[in-house]
Amino acid sequence: MTWSLYIRLAWRNVLRNKRRTLIAGTAVAFGLAALMFVDAINLSMTKNMVDSATGSFLGEGEISRTGFRKSFEVEFTVNDLPSVLAELKNDQRVTHFTPRVMTFGMLASPANNCAIQLVGVDPSTEKYLSEMDDKLVKGKYFAGNDQHDIVIGSKLADLLEVGLGDRVVVTAAQAHTGDLAQEMFRVSGIYFFDADELDKGMALIRIDQAQKMLNLDSQVSMIALDFHDRDIGRRPGDPFWAQYSKDGNEAIGWAELVPQLEKVFRLSKISQILVTVILFGVVALGIVNTLFMSLYERMFEFGVMRAVGTRPFSMGRLVVFEALSMAVISSVLGCVLGAALLGLTNFTGIDYSGIEYGGITFTKALYPIWSVHQFTLYPLLFLVFAAVIALYPAIYAARLTPAQAMRKSF
Amino acid sequence: MTDQDAVVKTEAVIKTYSDNGVPVPAVRGIDLTVAPGEFTALVGPSGSGKTTFLNIISGLDDATSGKVWLDGNDLAEMNGRELSDFRRDKVGFIFQAYNLIPVLTVEENIEYIMLLQGIDKKERHERVSAMLAKVDLEGYADRLPPKLSGGQQQRVAIARAMVAQPALVLADEPTANLDSKTGGDLLDLMRELNQTTGMTFIFSTHDRLIMERATRLITLKDGRIANDELRG
């Protein structure tokens, strides 16, 4: 019976000084909204980084000959390619896959030359995995059947001082013999990612031309993969990787292909925790300050309540309920403010494109990601935190003797 | 009257405060016995120890030394919780001002103690209605204290003090903030309730009206009883 009495009393006390409650509640609400926003930005940053790392070119996983990733030897090709391709074709977890031939080489123009990563791609399947075709700023992405088309990055084109239709020469070592092969290509497309490793260090040719030039027959260096569930690429223990890591091949996900991503995520997590601790600290001080102000202001009233028989525990309970009532108001305000902030930035976006973080260059603007936990877990945590923080003024109130309280009020 | 019958009995009660380490005696050894049904006034100049003594005999404050029995119970033997429950059940309080919980209505203020006692809703309502009738505040049950005059607020405080039928009602300067007409009416009300219910009243006051109506006048000076006068 007394629980409902004290809950009612707490609410009325909190609403007694509406202006103060509103000001204190808004200050606390800003903290909560900031926390929600930071969380949403972190989620967006994580997604954006994974998108940038995997969506631009890499893919969410790859299958290659064991050792290829370390040595990049051109003759280290995927073993038993036809059966791997057949298995992938029937695998429901895989949305797209594309074979690639990869090696290091030299690209030369009459004006300059540059070391590059030469990639032989199958344009019909590559377009589902990488964004090369979407990022084309000049020319076409392997239109027609010209075997001597080459697509390069804009910075590489600048370096070589070439444009569309200009001739360039690719030099690369052939498989098995190590003999140098040279082939002339004509620039058919120029892309721009705003990421140096792609814009300056990569050139794409057709896969059959690459196989011919590198003496690979129909072999490929690797198969890039995309999944329905992107998180497969984050879980090294997922059965998928064991299934395809056989016959001298290894299958690995993006988390292992770009190990710095996990480190960046850990760093983000830590910074999120730090922000949470700081914001909750500010909130704690705000709540304690407001409660003590209210307590000192009503000291005689507390004295009267104790005098007429309110037990010490009940006095403490009343203070905790007042903190909770204020926390409820602040949480509602915080959720509204947070939603407004997220809604606004979701509309405008935050342009991070071109900024490099943890070795990954953002290729898109950040759009904060809404999540249920931002509007449930954080307010709930906040309520629990408010109740814990309120214990200090609550204990103070409980320990007051009636005579002390009445004397303090004068 | 035997000691067992006394509502209040004190023996050599001393209270000394500390002001930055300097002992300040407020009560310097008071022996007092108050019988049931008395309408007693503690009078004396400011600083004579009236309020301090009132606080001690009601269990609001501890004595530095000495013994206090209230309704036969030794207050020194009770812990904080037991004292709270004891005050709730045995003592009614009326203070000079700010008596009421401003966010509770008149009815809620009066039933507050009964809520703490766990009395059921029906009985609470009946007793509140009866008390409101006694203090002439029928129709004010849903008002909040700030919407009442000072005299009306003190009437509510009287109703709250008496609704739980305590052994003793302590009133610390209950008329100090009221005009003489309102104060006189209030005092008549308390005297009437004292006579009809037999409840004991002890006042701490400077008010001549209370002194005139009191059946016993105890004068304190420098923390001691200077005079104890029984009147008709």
ipTM metric? 0.89
Is B104 within the bounds of a domain?
yes
Q: Is the pLDDT at B191 greater than 50, yes or no?
A: yes
Given a contact cutoff of 8 angstroms between Cβ atoms, the answer to whether A9 and A318 are in contact is yes
Q: Is residue B225 part of a domain?
A: yes
A402 in reach of chain B (CB within 8 A): yes
Closest residue, chain B, to A14 (C-alpha): B103
A402/A408 Cα distance (integer angstroms):
10
B113-165 pLDDT tens trace:
999 999 999 999 999 999 898 888 889 999 999 999 988 998 899 889 988 88
Q: Looking at the partner chain, which of A5, A307, A403 has a beta carbon nearest the beta carbon of B115?
A: A5
pLDDT at A359: 67
Same domain, A93 and A39: no
Helix (H) or strand (E) holding A149: strand A149-153
The pLDDT score that the predictor gives to residue A410 is: 47
The number of domains in chain A is: 2
Average pLDDT over residues B101-106: 93
Q: Are residues A195 and A285 in the same domain?
A: no
Whichever domain contains B157, its CATH number is: 3.40.50.300
- Host domain of residue A378: 2-53+261-408
Tell me the CA distances in angstroms from A68 to A79, A100, A103, one per residue in order.
Answer: 11, 13, 10
Which residue among A1, A305, A401 places its CB closest to the CB of B118?
A: A1
Measured between CA atoms, the residue of chain A closest to residue B63 is: A403
Q: Which structural domain, as residue segments, surrounds residue B166?
A: 8-230
Q: Are residues A28 and A131 in the same domain?
A: no
Residue B3 — pLDDT band, cuts 50, 70, 90? low
Q: Give the max Cα distance, chain A.
A: 100
As a whole number of angstroms, the distance between CA B77 and CA B71 comes to: 14
Q: What is the pLDDT of residue B214?
A: 92
Q: Is there a domain that residue A214 lies in?
A: yes
A124 CB-side CA count, 13 A: 3
8 Å CB contact of B85 and A16 = no
B224: pLDDT strictly greater than 90: yes
CB pairs A-B closer than 8 Å: 71
**Boundary of a domain, candidates A217, A247, A277:** A247
Closest CA to B141 of B186, B166, B173, B106: B106
Is residue B210, in this structure, part of any structural domain at all? Answer: yes
Q: How many structural domains does chain B have?
A: 1
Q: Where would I find the H helices in chain B?
A: 50-57, 80-90, 106-117, 121-134, 150-163, 180-197, 208-213
Judgement on whether residues A47 and A76 belong to the same structural domain of the protein: no
Q: Residue A34: what are its φ and ψ, rounded to 5°?
A: -65, -40
What value, to the nearest 5°, has the Cα angle with vertex A300 and ends A299 and A303?
Answer: 90
Q: Radius of gyration of chain B from Cα atoms? A: 17
Task: Show the low-confidence residues of chain A (pLDDT under 50).
Answer: 410
Residue A155 to residue A315: CA distance in whole angstroms: 71
The conformation of residue A400, written as its DSSP 8-state character, comes to -
Cβ-Cβ contacts under 8 Å, B62 against chain A? 401
Distance CA A285, CA B32 (A): 49
Residues in chain A closer than 8 A to B95 (CB atoms): 304, 307, 406
Q: Which residues of A touch B102 (CB under 8 A)?
A: 16, 301
Task: Tell whether A115 and A210 lie within a shared domain.
Answer: yes
d(CA A225, CA A233): 9
A194 shares its domain with A325: no
Stated pTM of the model? 0.77
pLDDT in tens, B156-172: 998 899 888 888 999 98
**Is-contact A98 A131, C-beta < 8 A?**
no
Instruction: Identify the CA nearest to A204 among candidates A120, A134, A124.
Output: A120
Q: What is the pLDDT of residue A92?
A: 94
Claim to verify: residue A299 and residue A344 sit in the same structural domain: yes
- Does the beta-carbon distance from B61 to A304 stay under 8 Å? no
Domain boundary pick from A214, A247, A280: A247
Whether residues A310 and B61 touch (CB distance < 8 A) is answered with no
Half-sphere exposure of B48 (CA within 13 A, CB side): 17
Residue B3 falls inside a structural domain: no
Tell me if A254 is assigned to some domain.
Answer: no
Q: Is residue A162 part of a domain?
A: yes
Q: Answer whether residue B2 is part of any domain.
A: no
Residue A97 tokens, joined = 């896959």
Residue A62 lies in a domain: no
State which of A194, A222, A247 marks the end of a domain.
Answer: A247
Question: Of all helices (H) and strands (E), which one includes residue A254?
Answer: helix A254-257
